[in-house]
Amino acid sequence: MGEHVLEFPKDFFWGTATSSHQVEGGNTNNWSQWENIPGKIRNNDKSGNACGWWESMEVDLSLMKQMNHNTHRMSIEWSRIEPEEGKFNEAAIQRYKEMIRSLKDVGIEPMVTLHHFTNPIWLENKGAWTNEASIQYFKRYVTYVVEHLGDDVRLWCTINEPEVYAVEGHMLCYYPPGKFSLALYFSTTINLLSAHLAAYEVIKAKNYAAQVGIVKNYQLFDPLDENSFFDKLLAKFLDRYFNRIVIDPFVFGKFTFPLPYRKEEIARLKGKTDFFGLNYYTRWRVKATLGSPATMLANIFNITPGAQVSDITKDGNPYGEIYPEGIYRAIKIVSAINKPIYITETGLPDADDSRRPRFLLTHLRQVHKAIKEGFDVRGIYHWSLTDNFEWADGWALRFGLVAFDQNTGERKMRASGKLFCEIVKAGAITQDMVKQYAPDMLSSYFE
Ligand code: BGC
């Protein structure tokens, strides 16, 4: 070990995160329908066999083992468990049981997400999350899952990123159902929050010791021009309606801004998450302009001039600015909930892996700083283990610590993957690691 070192807590959770549709292959759900509509997915890619997990998740399990994981975040595909309304598939739940047990057998604690963007087709046909009835359907599905897997799973995530699901489905329209509507953005988000509450109560009733959390993508919005009143106002507005909308109910049991929705249920959400699942990727520098909604929208999201960025998305812009301080800021903000924090996702699309090793070093340094200051961060799940099906960007964006060729199934460890292995093994970041993976940072890294 070098003479300088950033040590993480001994019981820190180290792992990667995946989601069912992005890795399993062969799913029949609202996304498999969406992928069949020409133009919806970059290059008209399909998830297809994805990373083949349904048949052989065990291939990636051995990678996790090799990479020293002590945890992994995965998700359950509702459309497999309940392919037809009210009809549950015993074989599917058994396959999940097998996956979960095989993780545990090698000392990898499973963290299991119940909803990660995808819906069964029958639910989609009923309006999915725009329809309040979906909360009851979700509750029934969760009850079934928990009856079967409850003894094997200690860490549950209810809903992955309610606000991203709603914004992509109803504002940006890159995800199904792709229906633009501000009202539907709000009602969908609120329905998903209620679904969290329903799932929370079901799981806790079965096993009070289970830890059940919400997962939220904390998107920082900073004014592009720090002196501009309108840029600042816009940043605040976006923060409220994308971030506070999920956080406020857990902290205050109400919204801190006008939003006339189901007050009683929102009140019941106060404190009803055992941990906060924080997904952090990037920040936007926002700019307010006058003009048509299209012009305004086109100008809103910017990157700090000169900042390093990750790979380019479907819309021709970078996925985001690489902004390590953001993870520290996000931890600080969500600690208002007063619950342990897991970084349930963080990462970047970087096909040639030219930025990922440095991303790991710089972001983990910020996480370490937060822990040192007393913030209760319990673990980190890198997004993702291997490249996988990246929603509307198909196979074009590569998030893996391990490169994955979707045509041949070949997996190849990236330099960042090796670094991740080393960090996890040491439970620390050492001078030698910085020297090897980002030598130019060495003089300032441990300051
Ligand atoms: C989602 C993942 C996605 C990742 C990278 C997160 O918002 O939960 O499913 O692959 O971002 O874009």
Question: What is the extent of the structural domain holding 41?
Answer: 14-417
Q: Given the CA of residue 281, which atom of ligand 1 is nearest to it?
A: 11
Task: Quote the ligand 1 centre to 292 CA distance (angstroms).
Answer: 30
Q: Looking at the domain assignment, is residue 74 inside a domain? A: yes
Into how many domains does the chain fold? 1
Q: Looking at the domain assignment, is residue 228 inside a domain? A: yes
Q: Looking at the domain assignment, is residue 443 inside a domain? A: no
Q: How far apart are CA 410 and CA 334, in angstroms?
A: 39
| Ligand 1 touching residue 217 (CB < 6 A) | yes
Q: Looking at the domain assignment, is residue 208 inside a domain? A: yes
Contact 182, 125 (CB under 8 A): no
| Ligand 1 touching residue 160 (CB < 6 A) | yes
Which ranges of 158-278 does DSSP label H, i.e. alpha helix? Answer: 162-170, 182-206, 229-238, 245-252, 263-268
| Ligand 1 touching residue 321 (CB < 6 A) | no
Q: Given the CA of residue 391, which atom of ligand 1 is nearest to it?
A: 10
Q: Give DSSP secondary structure letters for 351-394.
A: TT-SSHHHHHHHHHHHHHHHHHTT--EEEEEES-SB----GGGT
In single-letter form, the type of residue at position 265 comes to E
Q: Which residues, listed in sequence order, are joined to residue 404 by a DSSP beta bridge?
A: 411
Q: In 3D, which of 153, 143, 161, 164 has the Cα closest to residue 72?
A: 153
Task: Quote the ligand 1 centre to 382 CA distance (angstroms).
Answer: 11
| Ligand 1 touching residue 386 (CB < 6 A) | no
Q: How far apart are CA 399 and CA 396, in angstroms?
A: 10
In single-letter form, the type of residue at position 414 comes to R
| Ligand 1 touching residue 75 (CB < 6 A) | no
- Phi then psi dihedrals of residue 114, to 5 deg: -90, -25
pLDDT at 3: 64
Mutate to test the pocket of ligand 1, among 215, 345, 399 (most ligand atoms within 8 A of CB): 345
Please tell me the number of Cα atoms within 13 Å of 136 on its side-chain side.
Answer: 6
Q: In 3D, which of 382, 370, 315, 313 has the Cα closest to residue 346?
A: 382
Task: Give tens-digit pLDDT for 303-314.
Answer: 999 999 999 999
Task: Quote the ligand 1 centre to 401 CA distance (angstroms).
Answer: 15
Mutate to test the pocket of ligand 1, among 215, 391, 395 (most ligand atoms within 8 A of CB): 391
Contact 386, 403 (CB under 8 A): yes
| Ligand 1 touching residue 393 (CB < 6 A) | no
On the 0-12 / 13-18 / 19+ scale of CB atoms within 10 A, 186 is middle
Q: Looking at the domain assignment, is residue 30 inside a domain? A: yes
Please tell me the number of Cα atoms within 13 Å of 141 on its side-chain side.
Answer: 27
C-beta neighbour count of 283 within 10 angstroms: 23
Whether pTM exceeds 0.85? yes
Helices (H) and strands (E) in the chain, counts: 19, 15
Q: How far apart are CA 157 and CA 274, in angstroms?
A: 10
pLDDT at 46: 98
On the 0-12 / 13-18 / 19+ scale of CB atoms within 10 A, 261 is middle
Task: Quote the ligand 1 centre to 100 CA distance (angstroms).
Answer: 22
Q: How far apart are CA 111 and CA 277, in angstroms?
A: 11
Q: Looking at the domain assignment, is residue 428 inside a domain? A: no
Task: Quote the ligand 1 centre to 229 CA distance (angstroms).
Answer: 32
- Phi then psi dihedrals of residue 7, to 5 deg: -95, 140
| Ligand 1 touching residue 30 (CB < 6 A) | no
Q: Given the CA of residue 117, which atom of ligand 1 is nearest to it?
A: 9
Q: Looking at the domain assignment, is residue 444 inside a domain? A: no
Task: Quote the ligand 1 centre to 23 CA distance (angstroms).
Answer: 12
Q: How far apart are CA 29 and CA 18, in angstroms?
A: 17
Task: Quote the ligand 1 centre to 7 CA distance (angstroms).
Answer: 28
Mutate to test the pocket of ligand 1, among 163, 167, 390, 397 (most ligand atoms within 8 A of CB): 390
| Ligand 1 touching residue 187 (CB < 6 A) | no
Q: Looking at the domain assignment, is residue 251 inside a domain? A: yes
Q: Given the CA of residue 161, which atom of ligand 1 is nearest to it?
A: 8
**Residue numbers of the chain with a pLDDT score lower than 70:** 1-3
Extract the tokens encoding 319.
Answer: 């996925």
| Ligand 1 touching residue 168 (CB < 6 A) | no
CB within 8 Å of 299: residues ≥ 6 apart: 287, 289
- Phi then psi dihedrals of residue 439, to 5 deg: -55, -35
| Ligand 1 touching residue 161 (CB < 6 A) | yes
pLDDT at 1: 40
Task: Quote the ligand 1 centre to 153 CA distance (angstroms).
Answer: 23
C-beta neighbour count of 179 within 10 angstroms: 14
Task: Give tens-digit pLDDT for 343-385.
Answer: 999 999 999 999 999 999 999 999 999 999 999 999 999 999 9
* HEC profile of 398-434: CCCCEEECCCCCCEEECHHHHHHHHHHHHCEEEHHHH
At residue 157, the 3 state secondary structure works out as strand
CATH of the domain at 82: 3.20.20.80
| Ligand 1 touching residue 113 (CB < 6 A) | no
In single-letter form, the type of residue at position 182 comes to L
